[in-house]
Amino acid sequence: PPLARALHATVQIDEEITPEHYKAVAEVIGYVMRLKAKITGGGGRR
């Protein structure tokens, strides 16, 4: 997991991620939200 390693090496807990990681982190968050919606039966945004 290159993203996890990069974040672990460059970001401390409660710090903001660096702009170079924004897109990758956003993709992970989007994936998790879609997966959660699929599992819970939710289909829309709040």
pLDDT tens series, the chain, 46 aa: 899 999 999 999 999 999 999 999 999 999 999 999 999 987 655 5
Taking the mean position of all CA atoms in its chain, how far away is CA 6?
A: 13
> Does residue 17 belong to any structural domain of this protein?
yes
Q: Which two tokens stand for residue 41?
A: 């039966």
The residue written with tokens 């401390």 in the block is 12
Is 46 domain-assigned? no
Question: Would the pTM count as exceeding 0.95?
Answer: no
Domain assignment of residue 45, yes or no: no
Q: Are 17 and 7 in contact (CB under 8 A)?
A: yes
The total number of structural domains in the chain stands at 1
Tokens of 2: 């290159």
Report how far residue 32's alpha carbon sits from residue 9's, in angstroms, rounded to the nearest whole number.
23
Domain of residue 21, residue span: 2-39
